[in-house]
Amino acid sequence: MSRKILSQSLAEQISGQDLGDARVFFENELKQANKQLSALGDEATALDGAYILIQMARSNLGLGDKESCWQTARPLLDVFIQSGEFELAVEACELLYLSEQEDSIIALGHACWLAVTYPMKPALSIDMLSYIIDETPDNSDGAAVAGGVALYLAETRAEGSDRESLVFLAKQLIAIVAKRHRGIEDAETIKIWIEMLELNDLDELFKRLAKMLDAIVGNSWWVDRDALRAELPDQ
């Protein structure tokens, strides 16, 4: 599996921390989370516990205990989905992916499906798609599809001051993929490349993304996508 880096959303958990003190930071976070978990009363819901457990999973990852990260985060996916906390469901999948276990690539497929299907912070969705780009071979069209979807999400979901920076980021991802895919760098040739790959055809783009995610996950979907789609509001 390719290199793993913290997404912007996950990196924010330790923003402002001296990297030299990172281990101490995560150890303290884990201790605090354990105290909070122990303090939960009998009336606490599964979601109440999940809010704390995802903090513990982040700390496990920060401490390099990737197996514990997986074991802690994996049950949270169902809790967050059942509670309609889809952004946290994506964050749980991200932790599962970064934990580098046998089924981590399957977790990435889930993260991308959820991040595209449900409205959430576009930066988080783009982060998940960037992982797909990292995992995709240079000569495959898959990275281009992920980049095209990232640009669409940046243009349609981002607002205010974030929109400009996210659109720029998504365009940079596409430029990186174009160079990797065909060795092209100038803007005009990239535009032609986008047209050749039909990245501007949204219906085709999302069909190709769906096929790619099915190829990644195979028959190992942990969620009932048809049931979740049926609950989506009419567009």
Domain ranges of the chain: 1-107, 121-216
Compute the distance between CA of residue 45 and CA of residue 181 in angstroms, rounded to an integer: 48
Q: How many CB atoms are located within 10 Å of the residue 153 CB?
A: 23
Which of the residues in the chain have pLDDT under 70?
1-20, 234-235
Question: Is the CB of residue 65 less than 8 Å from the CB of residue 73?
Answer: no
The overall pTM is greater than 0.85: yes
| Residue with token string 């912007």 | 8
Structure tokens at 92: 């749980």
Compute the distance between CA of residue 98 and CA of residue 175 in angstroms, rounded to an integer: 25
Q: What DSSP state is assigned to residue 223?
A: S
Compute the distance between CA of residue 129 and CA of residue 136 in angstroms, rounded to an integer: 11
192: left (phi over 0), alpha (psi -120 to 50) or beta: alpha
Question: Is the CB of residue 86 less than 8 Å from the CB of residue 120?
Answer: yes
Q: In the prediction, which pLDDT does 3 show?
A: 39
For the stretch 56-74, pLDDT in tens is 999 999 999 999 999 999 9
